Amino acid sequence: METALKPTDAQYAAIRGNDPAADGNFLYAVTTTRIFCRPSCISRVPRRENIRIFAGADAALAAGFRPCKRCQPDKAPEADPRLERARALIDRRLADGEPAPSLAELAAVAHMGATHLQKRFAAAYGVSPRGYAEARRVATLKQELRNGSGVTEAIYGAGFGAPSRVYEKADRWLGMTPADYRRGGEGLTVTVAIRRTSMGLTLAAESPRGVAALLFGTSAATLLDELQAEFPAARIERNDASGSEIFAALEAVLRGEPVPRSLRLDLRGTPFQIRVWTALQAIPAGQTRSYREIAAELGLPGAARAVGSACGNNIIGVLVPCHRALRSDGSLGGYRWGLKRKERLLAGEKKTEAAAE
């Protein structure tokens, strides 16, 4: 029987990012649920210490784990070989330190028209070929910084032509400057307050940039663990007297009012995730959108699964209303903090909307 391994930093990053590029390289199992998944599965990301890595489905099954019904890791992936050739060319060029291939080069290797390739690639992987290459560069940059490379060395090593471009987008890509990321986020302070609200026990976290997290749970210890997993190197300062503006905004939204314009949200994620979270904020209270509809609004009609993944990775509950995203058949889909909370939120918003008419 194959020995299960704990995830490497790269594997855990792929699991957290629901990275389809990692599919086929490994599977991960969760010791608490006894279920194993593909890296791209949009199920809620488990705690790192509960993850075990397997090379294939046979090994996971032999160890007593069950295949996930959502991502079906025991079945062969239905990947379009033409798109896989294009994606492999991007990976190969970047691994060799060369510029990413042009759209024309990708179209040639895939034997598809450039426009058709662009659309099919985005539908399959949730991002355009250019966006995929950028995401791979950012992943390499993060790994280089974590490995102790100097900032300039890491930037050029990841294939970026100039440091200025990285610094321009560092806030979105890394959530901090490259130097701070290299130190593991040391120096970032997150102020935390835990109170009981209409959503149950609620944790509000605030960084210098704004609301960093709004989490719901059953115990303070669990909430703090969840926050620490999101900000592993940050300094967490608990002050239950803080966060008044955040808690007031939460209760206002639960009453059917909009998020106050003065409240800043510290959105940290991939460019695609931030686009999804921004689209969610545009959905009026009392209304819903399907994952497919949100994907279409973003110009990526085939990226419904990736939209669901982005919703699952949202850590600013209610204020970024991922509860308003449903499956195409109208069913609830998933919700990071439990389907009962999601159902209650939607019912409350519809009731408030009906009373206002």
> How many of the other CB atoms lie within 10 Å of CB of 203?
24
pTM more than 0.75: no
Alpha helices by DSSP H, listed for the chain, are 9-16, 57-62, 81-95, 103-110, 114-125, 129-146, 151-157, 163-173, 178-182, 220-230, 244-254, 271-281, 291-297, 304-312, 339-356
Mean pLDDT within 23-42? 85
Lowest mean pLDDT among 71-80, 100-109, 125-134, 161-170: 161-170
Of 154, 164, 162, 94, whose CA–CA distance to 129 is shortest?
94
| Residue 270, pLDDT score | 66
Q: What is the CATH number of domain 271-356?
A: 1.10.10.10
- Distance CA(342)–CA(312), nearest Å, equals 12
The percent helix, strand, coil of the chain (3-state, each to 5) is 45, 15, 40
Start-end ranges of CATH 1.10.10.60 in the chain?
81-182
Residue 189: CA atoms inside 13 Å, Cβ hemisphere, count?
5
Enumerate the CATH 1.10.10.10 domain ranges in the chain, comma separated. 271-356
Percent of the chain whose pLDDT exceeds 70: 78
Provide the CATH topology of domain 9-67: DNA Methylphosphotriester Repair Domain (3.40.10)
| Statement: residue 178 has pLDDT above 80 | no
- 3 state DSSP class of 178: helix
**68 included as an active-site residue:** no
Tens digit of pLDDT for each residue in 261-286? 889 998 877 667 888 999 999 998 88
For range 219-238, the mean pLDDT: 85
Topology (CATH) of 189-254: Double Stranded RNA Binding Domain (3.30.160)
pLDDT at 200: 92
Catalytic residue among 37, 41, 71, 311: 37
In the predicted structure, residue 249 carries a pLDDT above the cut 80: yes
Q: Is the pLDDT of residue 161 over 60?
A: no
Residues 6+ apart with CB under 8 A from 67: 35, 36, 57, 60, 61, 73, 74
Domain with CATH 3.40.10.10 in the chain: 9-67
Average pLDDT over residues 220-224: 90
CATH number listed for the domain at residues 81-182? 1.10.10.60
More confident residue, 205 or 84: 205
pLDDT for residue 152 is more than 70:
no
Instruction: Convert the pLDDT of each residue in 77-104 to its tens digit.
Output: 556 788 888 988 988 887 766 778 899 9
Q: Decide if 37 is catalytic.
A: yes
